[in-house]
Structure 1
Amino acid sequence: MTAQELVDADTEDDGREGGLGVNVRVVVHPDTDEESRGIIVDDFGDAAGYAVSVGDDVIADPARRWAVQLDSGSLTFVNSDALRPE
């Protein structure tokens, strides 16, 4: 499936992880003081979750699964457990 097909796809009850997918509106950090709303703009899938280290030096922490464009205009990166479909 191409990236454009993911964006154009109907995301209702399509078997995706918890109803999450690109172009789905979500609540980020629901029921917390950090709660915000936005839309998923990228899914890093299998590329998420790996830190980058060179010897004992950590160059980058593990990536998050989803990129979410918040209604405030900010971009945030979170894992599935921090999201709920709106």
Structure 2
Amino acid sequence: MSDQKSAAQPHSADVVVGARVRVRRDADDPAPGVVIEDFADLSQSEGLLGRDWAPVHRWAVALDDGRLVFVDDGELDLDAESPKAACG
């Protein structure tokens, strides 16, 4: 359950929809992308979906290589080298 609570708390106040981030699934080569959705409301409510398997990850990130990934706070960092993406 502690994973669910940590997923609901922001990694950084700057991690918002539209922010450029780097996803750290592969420690040797973080993948750059843009946050396109925040599922904090769903990640806080374990029983909301009527199941306890396949937990909701907080962030949906569109990677620059075309993939869509779903990650939690501990798997991403702000991309300080890129300007913030435009929201909308």
- The TM-score normalised by the length of structure 1 is 0.65
Runs of 4 or more, structure 1, over 4 Å off, are none
Is 1:83–2:76 an aligned residue pair? yes
Which residue in 2 is equivalent to 1:61? 54
Matches within 5 A, 1:6-45: 17-18=11-12, 19-29=14-24, 32-33=27-28, 35-45=30-40
**Structure 1 segments unaligned to the other structure (5+ residues):** 1-15
- Rg bigger for which structure? 1
Q: By how many angstroms is 1:45 displaced?
A: 1.1
Identity of aligned pairs, percent?
33
> Match of 1:48, SS?
helix
Name whichever structure is richer in strand by fraction: 1
Shift of residue 65, structure 1, vs aligned partner: 0.2
Contact 1:30–1:84 (8 Å) recurs in 2: no
Distance 1:30 1:61, change over 3 A: closer
Which residue among 29, 48, 65 is the counterpart of 1:72?
Answer: 65
| 2:11–2:74 Cα contact (<8 Å) kept | no
Amino acid at match of 1:23: G
Q: CA deviation at 1:62?
A: 0.5
- Which is bigger in relative contact order (C-alpha 8 A, separation at least 6)? 2
**SS of the residue aligned with 1:47?**
helix
Equivalences, count? 66
Q: TM-score, normalised by structure 2?
A: 0.64
